[in-house]
A and B are shown apart, each in its own frame.
Chain A
Amino acid sequence: METRHTIDPLQPKTWQLDPIENGSEGYLYHCILCDEALVLSKQQINPRKIKLVFDGTCPSCGFELDRVLSCRVSLLPKGRRLLTSLKCRDPELLREPDNQIEYQPRRGSNLPRDLQPGITTGIDSLDKALILKKGQFVSLEGEPSHALSLLLCVRATLPQGLDSDVVFIDAGNLFDTYTISQHIVNLGLESGRVQQRIHLSRAFTHHQVHSLIVEKLAPALDEYGARLAVVSDITALFCDPDVREKKEALDIFRKSLQFLGKTAEQRNMLIIATNQKARNKTMTDALMHTAHVSARLKDKGTYTQLIIARHPFTPQKEDEVVTLDKTLLGYQ
């Protein structure tokens, strides 16, 4: 593990600096008017940064650093990398940040290989094919996907489900409390208790969807202890005709997806994003490739067809098709 170097104090004036014999070469930033020594650093520092850290003026003579800041080569005591004036309010800001290792999402195939679903829908054929588990980011495409997500919201609160609260980001303005109530009645649950465990926020612009995902989701998961999060119709607002900056929308969309994938893995929770229809090929592809599990649901009039396009537990082959014996709504 890398040790962090401390920041040492610097003598006030340049002529007060201790003579150094076997030091290493560095850079001394000082005031040319009053000889105040400001920063002595192993690395060169952008003078603008020094001006900002000292609030734009020399802490000794008060003149604007724009006019009086200068830099010259100087020696640093051995083993030291940064010395600053005692008048520097926040010397930490001058230190180069440690290189943080960015979290790399695991490949889906490295997820725990256990074919027992962590949460079920109550529809055997569907559960066997989907194998929904914690740690997955799941993409469900097609109109019936929303009905399935609402069913999962209620079942997630069951002790044999995830026994947890649910966070629902309504990006498609689709959340329906009446359907939720219907599921609660069908499962013989206490309505008030379950409804209180489903927390939602609605978005009306694609920027709000992004903000809900990257800024608001994590605190909500912490606050409610949720192990299931749903984002409804995730592409709808990004593809809204009123969005003028299409490239920016696509960048933000990708960023949101990466965040969802990482969150599912890091927090070992299930995140489901539904997409009512394929509106934009690039976005649909991005969604399919970021999600660990990707499936399409199609209503065929009297029954619903589930097509698994990508699953970490299923070897890469042609799409796996599962036919449910009635429509998804019929299972309510």
Chain B
Amino acid sequence: MKHLGWILDLYHKTGQMVVWLKKPDGKCVRLTDSWKPRIHVGGNYRELIDLACKSYVENSIFVDKFERAGDIEKSRVLEVVVENDEEAAKLARRIQRESSYSNFRLYDVDIPSPQIYLYQKDLFPLALVEAEEKDEKIEWTLRDSRETIDYKLPPLRKIRLEIKTRKNKRVRTFEDELDSLRIITDDEETLVLDSGSEEEKLLSLGQTFNEIDPDIVITEGGDSFIFPYLARRAHKNGMLNRLVLGRDPSPLRVYEVQGHSYFSYGKILYRETAARLLGRLHIDDHNAFISADCGLEGLFEISRTCIIPIQRASRATIGTNMTSLQFYHAVKKNVLIPWNKNQPEEWKNSNELVIADRGGFIHEPETGIYDQVGELDFTSLYPTIMRDQNLSGETVKCKCCPNSLRRVPELDYNICDRWRGIVPQSLEILLDRRSRYKQLKKDEKDELKRQKYDARQSALKWILVCSFRLPWI
């Protein structure tokens, strides 16, 4: 059977990738493709064969891949099929532990499987595709292009969900009883669910979701409170199995996994665990970055361009989105992606450190008061230099072109002539699209369209800000 539609959401369930297509008639269809993630293991060939004979390493074959970006030859590595992402991490840890952390190099372990699936199949979120179901597999035909800037998006039904609890204390807690639920639809219609017992309210929430069948659910604090709270209340009422809010017929999960704090640029930040509604898009305005600044237009642009599922893109940092784009190019070039950030920088001597590490050149002006001062603003200065000069972790001081004519000023490091770097390759599409959107915005008279182009170009600008090197180097 064939289906035409836009890829709305996708996730992995043991042994298969579930993809939700939004069809032109507004309906959604759930497709399943028999597919499993794979991890790769590099090391001494004899030791790899011994590893492949271990009882815990099933379903493995040898394949040839580049272990490092920029390598001249491919290496023979072991490819192991795993059931899911958790299994991949578990197996990788076991291999490391049992080899005393020294014999093997592990790759492709921690990349979310929906992303790898999209890279491998040359698809992207919100791409218009034709899907043909054959046995347990799906054959995809792309009717869209990541390069196009005038793409068509499906009409998406949005709702906003709010809840009110009967607070017992000053701060609302999971123990408070549910007071009411408010659903505000696209056409500003407000539905209030406040009658009956708590169980009835929760059940009518599920029914309302079923009837309205929203594609996008927007909340304020859906990750941190609303959905974990609803799941907890449903559990308390013994009806968790009947609280289905996604399109997938699985009930709302209780989120026991805590979010995590991390340190970034001098700040301690906290990231909530994402509450995902399978088959719909949950956007939490309190846990969103791109959409908070550039709206849904910006979010969809990033999701398509960086090949990252929409719900993940909305919560991800700009760095994670950029990383996804670099992963895509690595996968396409048959370059393996190391597990953990374990590749250190190259050795340099103390003199080189002083020259290489001082950052950009700052020309100090002579102190005084001047008039008739002009200002020059370079468009995407650093990314443009990186793209034009082929600057990437693997291209600077490459082993294959020591006499390359392209050199780093002052340090005289050679830059590869043979290999197009993953960073400059990733930057091409971002720079190109951004400059085209800026031009469109300039030429466009329609204010709504101008806003759309502006949102898209600002989202791309955010991504370009963090284009400094390969995430694993």
Is B one of A's binding partners? yes
Q: A53 vs B50: C-alpha distance in the bound complex, in angstroms?
A: 11
Interface string of A197-221 (1 = CB under 8 A from B): 1111111110110111010100010
Interface string of B28-53 (1 = CB under 8 A from A): 00000000000000000110011011
| Count, chain B residues at interface, CB 8 A | 32
Interface residue ranges of B1-57 to A (CB < 8 Å):
45-46, 49-50, 52-53
Q: A190 vs B197: C-alpha distance in the bound complex, in angstroms?
A: 84
Residues on B with C-beta less than 8 A from A242 are 262-263
Residue of A nearest to B473 (CB): A208
For B62, B348, B350, the residue with the greatest tally of chain A CB atoms inside 10 Å of its CB is B350
Known: A93-B46, A242-B262. A175 touches B348 (CB 8 A): no
* A248: Cβ under 8 A from any B Cβ: yes
Q: A57 vs B342: C-alpha distance in the bound complex, in angstroms?
A: 36
- Give the contacting residue for B52; candidates A49, A192, A255; CB below 8 A: A49
Q: A192 vs B352: C-alpha distance in the bound complex, in angstroms?
A: 10
Q: Decide: A48 and B53 in contact? CB cutoff 8 A.
A: yes
Q: Give the number of residue pairs across the A-B interface with Cβ within 8 Å.
A: 93
- Give the contacting residue for B53; candidates A49, A55, A92, A207; CB below 8 A: A49
* B170: Cβ under 8 A from any A Cβ: no
* A79: Cβ under 8 A from any B Cβ: no
Q: Decide: A48 and B52 in contact? CB cutoff 8 A.
A: yes
Q: Decide: B344 and A175 in contact? CB cutoff 8 A.
A: no
Q: Decide: A197 and B349 in contact? CB cutoff 8 A.
A: yes
Interface residue ranges of B326-360 to A (CB < 8 Å):
340-351, 353-354
**Least Cβ distance of B358 to chain A in Å?**
11
* B101: Cβ under 8 A from any A Cβ: yes
Q: A180 vs B260: C-alpha distance in the bound complex, in angstroms?
A: 39
* A9: Cβ under 8 A from any B Cβ: no
Q: Decide: B46 and A200 in contact? CB cutoff 8 A.
A: no
Q: Decide: B342 and A210 in contact? CB cutoff 8 A.
A: yes
* A330: Cβ under 8 A from any B Cβ: no
Residues on A with C-beta less than 8 A from B168 are none
Q: A52 vs B354: C-alpha distance in the bound complex, in angstroms?
A: 50
Q: A2 vs B204: C-alpha distance in the bound complex, in angstroms?
A: 79
Residues on A with C-beta less than 8 A from B101 are 210, 248, 251-252, 255
Interface residue ranges of A77-105 to B (CB < 8 Å):
90, 92-93, 97
For B46, B341, B347, B354, the residue with the greatest tally of chain A CB atoms inside 10 Å of its CB is B347
* B100: Cβ under 8 A from any A Cβ: yes
Q: Decide: B97 and A196 in contact? CB cutoff 8 A.
A: no
* A301: Cβ under 8 A from any B Cβ: no
Q: A224 vs B342: C-alpha distance in the bound complex, in angstroms?
A: 23
Q: Decide: B97 and A248 in contact? CB cutoff 8 A.
A: yes
Q: Decide: A52 and B345 in contact? CB cutoff 8 A.
A: no
* A177: Cβ under 8 A from any B Cβ: yes
**Least Cβ distance of B57 to chain A in Å?**
9
Residue of A nearest to B338 (CB): A207
**Least Cβ distance of A228 to chain B in Å?**
14
For B96, B97, B349, the residue with the greatest tally of chain A CB atoms inside 10 Å of its CB is B349
- Give the contacting residue for B340; candidates A195, A197, A207; CB below 8 A: A207
Q: A323 vs B286: C-alpha distance in the bound complex, in angstroms?
A: 56
Known: A93-B45, A205-B342. A251 touches B97 (CB 8 A): yes
Residues on B with C-beta less than 8 A from A245 are 93
* B61: Cβ under 8 A from any A Cβ: yes
Q: Decide: A49 and B342 in contact? CB cutoff 8 A.
A: no
* A56: Cβ under 8 A from any B Cβ: yes
Known: A52-B49, A56-B61. A208 touches B347 (CB 8 A): no
Q: Decide: A207 and B347 in contact? CB cutoff 8 A.
A: no
Q: A55 vs B45: C-alpha distance in the bound complex, in angstroms?
A: 13
* A241: Cβ under 8 A from any B Cβ: yes
A196-B351, A210-B101 given; name 7 further pairs at CB < 8 Å: A175-B350, A177-B353, A198-B350, A211-B342, A241-B263, A248-B96, A251-B101
**Which B positions have Cβ atoms within 8 angstroms of A?**
45-46, 49-50, 52-53, 61-62, 93, 96-97, 100-102, 260-263, 340-351, 353-354
Would you give 21 A-B contacts (Cβ < 8 Å), ordered by A? A46-B53, A48-B53, A55-B62, A56-B61, A93-B46, A177-B350, A195-B350, A195-B351, A196-B349, A200-B347, A207-B340, A207-B342, A208-B343, A210-B101, A220-B347, A241-B261, A241-B263, A248-B93, A248-B96, A248-B97, A251-B97
Closest 7 CB pairs of A and B: A207-B342, A195-B350, A46-B53, A208-B344, A207-B340, A195-B351, A198-B350
